[in-house]
Amino acid sequence: MRLRLAGAVLLSAAAYYVYLPLPSGVSEPWKLMLLDALFRSFMQASDVAHALGVCHRIHLLNHVVSWVEEIEARSCPAVHVTDTVLGGVPTRVFQPKGGKQLKRGVIYFHGGGWALCSGRMRSYDHLCRKMAEDLDSVVMSVDYRLAPDAVFPAQYHDALAASRAFLSAEVLERYSIDPERVCVSGDSAGGNLAAAVAQELSSDDALTANFKLQALIYPVLQALDFYTPSYQQNRDVPILYRPIMARYWLQYLGADTSLEPLLLANNHSSLDQPALSSSIRSKLDWTALLPAERRKHFQPVVRETGSPRVMGEVPQLIDVRAAPLLAEQGVLGRTPKAYVMTCEFDVLRDDGLMYVRRLQDAGVTVTSDHYEDGFHGCMVFAYLPMMSKVGWRSMNNYIHWLDQNL
């Protein structure tokens, strides 16, 4: 009887820990709850280790990710897989066997808040392997340096160096890639890097080859407004919580994470900030850039007075290499045809949707692929153990778009 009682108590405690009220429209809520419980457990353990001085929280999280998820480069009957270096940056290459003599080419940057994950993870390996096979394309998955050991602009420089090498005549010839059918892509923080690289290289007339497409998967594109409608609506929706995104930004920019409450209050973008001109503010004015069905009932949060020291300590917040949404229209107009995936239950939804509008206003052809039941990171959870339905659907649609346009 005591064992039964103890079991019931433990089961109730586990259910209490796992259960999280979620919006009714989110795909497969119980799977997301279980995933979130697992993530919260790891993050809480890493916070304890960090507080005790055992190691940095990010180092522990990456150690767990490496132990659980990273796999060796293993070829299969359809795809040859190798680890190499691209522009001085570790990269995993997926080459389809057979098919056309000249291949399409995709360079891919993984997500993880510029601090976590790797192209060697099982989820990214599966994604890139499928892309290589389905598209008859050479896919190069880049392992850029990570925070806290490397901070902005190191990740950007790695992405840029790898992209320049990818577009070089030597690499294109070695891997039999058609120079007129190449794409830059990435998810989340990797989508940020892909957008920044596309902006930089589209203006480089010295390149003999350049990207035909940019494909951005729920990208993070700005850190000046943490009160966009999607940040307000999804502040308590896993797996990317609003405070976590602010912390990722501060870690990426090499700033003091004690500034997190100021970012979350929008004190860093108050009206008394001399560094924030009306031109900069217009580039993320969601009241003008978002459609009414996304603005809903939410109101902007703009402080009259804030914390001027934040912009002084972290001027990178308005560096377009870190925040591609802030680019000038002329720069955006030179970027390639675009695909932007967004998810309704994602704090970053409006970053992507505002970028869609700004690209369109600049004359760029854009496909906006929105998932009403999607959540942040869903595409990389298409495979086991989660087998997310919206993840599988979004991945197939993303690959289909590449197939039709690349």
Per-residue pLDDT reduced to its tens digit, 71-85: 999 999 999 999 999
Catalytic residue among 346, 350, 351, 369: 346
Within 8 A by CB and 6+ apart from 244, the residues are 113
- The pLDDT assigned to 1 comes to 57
Query: Active-site residue 376, yes or no?
Result: yes
Rounded Cα distance between 276 and 225, Å, is: 12
Query: Active-site residue 373, yes or no?
Result: no
Q: What is the mean pLDDT of residues 289-303?
A: 96
Rounded Cα distance between 24 and 45, Å, is: 30
Rounded Cα distance between 10 and 5, Å, is: 9
Q: Which residues pair with 63 in a beta bridge?
A: none
Rounded Cα distance between 18 and 6, Å, is: 18
Catalytic residue among 46, 188, 202, 307: 188
Query: Active-site residue 346, yes or no?
Result: yes
Q: What is the pLDDT of residues 116-133, one digit of tens each?
A: 999 999 999 999 999 999
Q: Is the pTM of this model over 0.75?
A: yes
Token pair listed for 185 = 């892509």
Q: pLDDT exceeding 90 applies to what percent of the chain?
A: 86
| Predicted confidence (pLDDT) at residue 16 exceeds the cutoff of 70 | no
Catalytic residue among 36, 376, 388, 394: 376
79-86/89-96 β-pairing: antiparallel
